[in-house]
Structure 1
């Protein structure tokens, strides 16, 4: 239950006392950050008795469940009117952010508390406040668990089992996955705040005249403004590690030692104060590291495509991973490639190949536009076409198929026999889609290419099969 309030208590609560009390109430009600924002807007003068409709109009994203809150928006609006300085939106979001993370820290299984905390953090408009709160959250609540998760995953070389997560990090494996997603969002938010710091002034924290005699502890926002600016490259470095950990947990990747993707400089910089200048990796990276990194990113892309297009999706896993729907993993893999000195085109080509392998041909066709080296891609897709045809001819073994096989050029037959259709994730792709793919390959291959004649034969074979 919320503590009873009195004027004396509020006067002793420091400058943040009022916002702190309201934040505790908001936590109890679990109100969305959007609701705080729209309740802060001016009430519709024409319909003062219909606050909820006004709120729906001014903020359509608020769900119906949240709109059906009776007097809550009115209460918030009244509070804003009485305490325009103490409940300034950034101040209130900062206190809510802190309240949620404090409650999450008491029970890390309540991953949604940390998710909500980050939502409030993102709603803070002033980058100085945002930077400070993010830094305080990281140092006070997150970095210790984050480093524990890193060392655990590095030790076991894969996504750790539930028992180990509880033992070393103090939360279940599903909670850990969500935790890493939240850490990534916090680090990204810090980076964004740092970019806009120079353009925005440090806010002046006002107090209402009636509460000027307030005494007590320093407020969260005052503390936030005392924080130093982050060292951008160091936060980025942590963000890369966090992405690696998050992907490993999200997709239960095997044979992944996160720290093995970094050299000694890179490893030494981890878990240091994010405002400090650290010696970070620079210049050309050892090719062995780049090879390991590339393998990891290809794994992530494969797992992401499989999670999205696999026929036997696990609905419980889908439900557990709320962040998954928001993240564009192949896009993230390409971003990581830039940071990890891996060729982003290799990642893009692999993504196209995986989409076609899963029979998501339309998406594959779209993704081709992002690829630079289309000639190499065409060779890769040619093999995939061969695998599809080999499956259709050798594994179904129809009479017509066998007759067609006898009519094919010997070189094509030999090539098709060497194909391994087991590499395909989806063998039930209609022949018309494969015909379209062969034509696409022909478009991408230069006429002088060594495999051009093979592609021509494939077109004939596919068209003959389409008539069977």
Structure 2
């Protein structure tokens, strides 16, 4: 602080210790700068300045909410706009030609215009003004709180080459950045700058504005409306504004098709004799498509189109100048014409083929039996004819140069559905369907697009509305639609038609296979009619099943299979009694495209999802397969003469699962008939394992799902598939969670607390114990399966011939999976047992994976699959691990014995060992894996039981020992503590001491009291245990027991008799 004050004492007013010499430096003389131009306003402050690209104008935003436009060259304020508080300004320079960046060689000859853009971010208002007059070009609202980004710089370092280079302008002179980061550029047509009387476009714009105002103010029903509208429209001379006028009439004001066609006729007459240019050809194509599409719309709606005859004639003369124009067809309304048509021998029979009719009837019955219902898209119908006309035109590409009018590729699904509904309804209402061919041909519509719309509508129709009458009508409509297409009618012998192949491709993509099959049957009937006509022309063709017919048959067969699959998978039922956890089945469209793209195992996968959604047991699936295998066979008679009765026993043990759920297995049997290869029980159960693994990954706290995976895996009879699935599921779903859990337990040295578990592995400590239990069981089954000797070869996995080529299925991947390293798998199982037992009993061991194992546990986790870099592992542990492992097993045995409970209800102690003995078996298994003698576990169990007073249980375990002499020392110590507790609890201690031999009493005095010994030890059971121990020692040959300890045990036994006799 002192140094601080010393340093700044001159500033703070303090004196200095020394006299400082002030040096007078000469000041630089200032010079006043003269102002060339200036605007002075003492109350106005400028906030921002934007300079135009040509450096001649500047827009200044001030603090009073004004925008001032300054002529920089002359220094004049030329415009002042009010109401622009906190505005942002930018200039945009537009050239007359369409090229945004003209060549430098011609840039001086071009007209250019500068527009001022004023953006108010608070109101979201954009105001565009033409410079220098300041007239408003446009004003509209945009996003609030945006940013106007203005750029006047082009590429840095660009060379000026007037012959090749273009003017160096930025790509976007001005953009608006929305708060969400979206960039929006300004597109200002050049003609907005042309307001003079000499500009034709300016005149047309003025006319277009008058027309727009007239349409806003005048009703369509008013007198003289049509004449005035046509008069104003005919004044337009600019091509693109004529196109804009038509779009405006239809899309914005909903003018009727008749009036629009009158305007279009005026436009056509005005350009018919003009010299063709690229722009004129483009406009003429648009107007022609516009007129023909309108003609088709009016035909479909039953309107009188006599007013369009001259226009259509001119349009067709332009499109096909060398073709003679036919008359516009008119509907045949007379009954005589209809009767002649019905009696005509050339009229084909519009019916389904007999085989297809039977298939369709069967599937419709099946769908009705299963209450087959689907979610249909809600189709929005047009409210009136004007809006329907607008929606109709918006779906077609009128700017296209194609030979036919087609749908836009960017048309939305809702628009397609609406158009399909109206088109279907209009066509099916036609009095004379035979005129449909002429309508489509005359209107230059693509028949394939109309067919696609009909297919879309059939897909959207409720199934109950589809009947035989409608299908026959559909066949008739398809026939007359395709009759004008040579590719559809002239089918070469034993060849496939590209046109019909495209239709088949459309059907493959449709969402509902049943409806796709109905349409395919109708198309097959139409195709067959054309083939018969071709055969009548050429008598040499005699083959009844052509290649085209076979293609339809194959498609219908596949659609039939997928239809049955989709119908059955809609069925849901609840299983009574024992079942697996149910998985929510996601909703998805099961169609042929889905089955194609998902590959060979897709059918099996869907069936597995369906069964998992109802919790069907794998035993029930296997039993159902065996019942079908032995259908019509007396099982008892068939297996009496056979030694292999495994199938019979399996059926008898699990038949009740099938009998209790007849509906489910009725549908499953039908699926097995339809897909005999994909519905093998092993394939289905393998996919069920995968589905439950996915479900567990989504909800890892629900370990019952992972336990179900293990349950299903044990039901797979093919060991190759089972072993492969064990490996795949382990590495895909379980390994990383197991590894994280083991690392956490190794770090903590005991069962972690809930917050730490949730942070590292995503579930609480209770879920961790359950997870480790299931994983230990999983690895145990995995190890057993890996050690089995597989006697059979790998089977040849086959599927139905739906797929030509596809990715391998889950079963194929599992069967071809690499063999695991049994030693590494054994070590993983040991680690799992260690960590699980620790967490279950909450035993504390510091760094268990480091202190109990001499191999890096990370290598154990990562080296399960055999690889070239796998090192040799000695499964016999080093001696330094023996003592830590023995201590760990001793802790576990003591914890297991602590789970025993006793009761004296019947006068004698009753022991509940339901939890203890299974745990002792698990600990014994771990000891065997560690190459520790089983006798050690039994000895530690005897010590723990005897220590807690469970003498009867201890005596029974002593009978199993092979080295009983090792127990002398620990049991003698416990017996000494028992006598010390007996003396403490005795009511006559002096007499108790007198009965005790001096050497035993001296032993009692030399040990401290252990309060963990029961307070009232039973001397009779103590004597029984010690006698049993001495008896086992006497029975053993070459016993190395300590004689002094045996003598001490014998003295304790004798003294027990004395104490019991004196009741001390």
TM-score, normalized by the shorter chain, greater than 0.5 = yes
Report the Cα distance in structure 2 between the residues aligned to 1:98 and 1:391, rounded to whole angstroms: 60
Report the Cα distance in structure 1 between the residues aligned to 2:785 and 2:936, rounded to whole angstroms: 32
Larger mean Cα displacement after TM superposition, 67-76 or 28-37: 67-76
Question: Which residue number in structure 2 is paired with residue 254 of structure 1?
Answer: 844
Question: Which residue number in structure 2 is paired with residue 26 of structure 1?
Answer: 611
1:3 equivalent to 2:587? Answer yes
Larger mean Cα displacement after TM superposition, 87-96 or 281-290: 281-290
Equivalent of 1:93 in 644, 663, 685: 685
* 1:374-420, Cα deviation, whole Å (9 max, x unpaired): 101233223333333332332x2322x65233211022223334264
How far residue 451 of structure 1 moved from its aligned partner, in angstroms, is 1.4
Tell me, yes or no, if the aligned pair for 1:16 and 1:219 is still in contact at 8 Å: yes
Report the Cα distance in structure 2 between the residues aligned to 1:301 and 1:128, rounded to whole angstroms: 38
Distance 1:100 1:420, change over 3 A: farther
* 1:130-154, Cα deviation, whole Å (9 max, x unpaired): 1111111111111111111121111
Tell me, yes or no, if the aligned pair for 1:228 and 1:275 is still in contact at 8 Å: yes
How far residue 343 of structure 1 moved from its aligned partner, in angstroms, is 4.6
Tell me, yes or no, if the aligned pair for 1:38 and 1:59 is still in contact at 8 Å: no
Distance 1:309 1:229, change over 3 A: farther
Distance 1:408 1:145, change over 3 A: same
How far residue 38 of structure 1 moved from its aligned partner, in angstroms, is 3.0
Distance 1:325 1:346, change over 3 A: closer
1:151-162 equivalence runs, <5 A: 151-162=743-754
* 1:25-44, Cα deviation, whole Å (9 max, x unpaired): 23222233333333333178
1:348 equivalent to 2:942? Answer no
Report the Cα distance in structure 2 between the residues aligned to 1:33 and 1:240, rounded to whole angstroms: 29
Question: Which residue number in structure 2 is paired with residue 133 of structure 1?
Answer: 725
Report the Cα distance in structure 2 between the residues aligned to 1:454 and 1:310, rounded to whole angstroms: 30
Tell me, yes or no, if the aligned pair for 1:337 and 1:343 is still in contact at 8 Å: yes
Distance 1:217 1:284, change over 3 A: closer
Distance 1:35 1:368, change over 3 A: farther
Equivalent of 2:1029 in 426, 441, 455: 441
1:329 equivalent to 2:914? Answer no
1:149-298 equivalence runs, <5 A: 149-208=741-800, 211-213=801-803, 216-262=806-852, 265-276=855-866, 278-279=870-871, 281-282=873-874, 285-298=877-890
Tell me, yes or no, if the aligned pair for 1:39 and 1:74 is still in contact at 8 Å: no
Distance 1:105 1:397, change over 3 A: same
Equivalent of 1:107 in 699, 715, 721: 699
Distance 1:31 1:422, change over 3 A: farther
Larger mean Cα displacement after TM superposition, 37-46 or 199-208: 37-46
Tell me, yes or no, if the aligned pair for 2:713 and 2:726 is still in contact at 8 Å: yes
Question: Which residue number in structure 2 is paired with residue 42 of structure 1?
Answer: 627
Describe the SS at the equivalent of 2:1044: coil
Report the Cα distance in structure 1 between the residues aligned to 2:934 and 2:665, rounded to whole angstroms: 48
Question: Which residue number in structure 2 is paired with residue 315 of structure 1?
Answer: none
1:422 equivalent to 2:1007? Answer no
Larger mean Cα displacement after TM superposition, 105-114 or 22-31: 22-31
Tell me, yes or no, if the aligned pair for 1:241 and 1:258 is still in contact at 8 Å: no
CA RMSD across the alignment:
3.3
How far residue 282 of structure 1 moved from its aligned partner, in angstroms, is 2.6
Describe the SS at the equivalent of 1:422: coil
1:15 equivalent to 2:600? Answer yes
Tell me, yes or no, if the aligned pair for 1:11 and 1:215 is still in contact at 8 Å: no
- Return the TM-score normalized by structure 1: 0.83
Distance 1:78 1:186, change over 3 A: same
Distance 1:78 1:360, change over 3 A: farther
Question: Which residue number in structure 2 is paired with residue 361 of structure 1?
Answer: 951
Q: Which has the higher strand share?
A: 2
Report the Cα distance in structure 2 between the residues aligned to 1:164 and 1:389, rounded to whole angstroms: 47
* 1:188-215, Cα deviation, whole Å (9 max, x unpaired): 222222223542321221324xx54376
How far residue 7 of structure 1 moved from its aligned partner, in angstroms, is 5.4
Describe the SS at the equivalent of 2:706: helix
Larger mean Cα displacement after TM superposition, 68-77 or 179-188: 68-77
How far residue 60 of structure 1 moved from its aligned partner, in angstroms, is 6.0
Tell me, yes or no, if the aligned pair for 2:964 and 2:1029 is still in contact at 8 Å: no
Tell me, yes or no, if the aligned pair for 2:982 and 2:1017 is still in contact at 8 Å: no
Describe the SS at the equivalent of 1:205: coil
- Structure 1 residue runs without a partner (length 5+): 48-53, 312-323
Describe the SS at the equivalent of 1:151: helix
Describe the SS at the equivalent of 1:171: coil
Report the Cα distance in structure 2 between the residues aligned to 1:357 and 1:61, rounded to whole angstroms: 50
Distance 1:12 1:281, change over 3 A: closer
Report the Cα distance in structure 2 between the residues aligned to 1:148 and 1:378, rounded to whole angstroms: 44
Question: Which residue number in structure 2 is paired with residue 405 of structure 1?
Answer: 993
Tell me, yes or no, if the aligned pair for 1:2 and 1:25 is still in contact at 8 Å: no
Report the Cα distance in structure 2 between the residues aligned to 1:55 and 1:344, rounded to whole angstroms: 36
Question: Which residue number in structure 2 is paired with residue 119 of structure 1?
Answer: 711
Larger mean Cα displacement after TM superposition, 218-227 or 1-10: 1-10
Distance 1:82 1:283, change over 3 A: closer
* 1:140-172, Cα deviation, whole Å (9 max, x unpaired): 111111111121111111111121111111222
1:376 equivalent to 2:966? Answer yes
Describe the SS at the equivalent of 1:275: coil
- Return the TM-score normalized by structure 2: 0.39
Equivalent of 1:453 in 1020, 1024, 1047: 1047
* 1:251-310, Cα deviation, whole Å (9 max, x unpaired): 111134222235553435221131135335538755432221221121111112223448
Tell me, yes or no, if the aligned pair for 2:693 and 2:705 is still in contact at 8 Å: yes
Report the Cα distance in structure 1 between the residues aligned to 2:844 and 2:821, rounded to whole angstroms: 33
How far residue 109 of structure 1 moved from its aligned partner, in angstroms, is 0.5
Question: Which residue number in structure 1 is paired with residue 1020 of structure 2?
Answer: 432
Distance 1:88 1:369, change over 3 A: farther
Tell me, yes or no, if the aligned pair for 1:128 and 1:197 is still in contact at 8 Å: no
Tell me, yes or no, if the aligned pair for 1:129 and 1:224 is still in contact at 8 Å: yes
How far residue 129 of structure 1 moved from its aligned partner, in angstroms, is 0.8
- Structure 2 residue runs without a partner (length 5+): 1-584, 635-647, 904-913, 1035-1040
How far residue 46 of structure 1 moved from its aligned partner, in angstroms, is 11
Describe the SS at the equivalent of 2:861: coil
Distance 1:238 1:231, change over 3 A: same
Tell me, yes or no, if the aligned pair for 2:896 and 2:916 is still in contact at 8 Å: no
Report the Cα distance in structure 2 between the residues aligned to 1:142 and 1:383, rounded to whole angstroms: 47
Distance 1:70 1:461, change over 3 A: farther
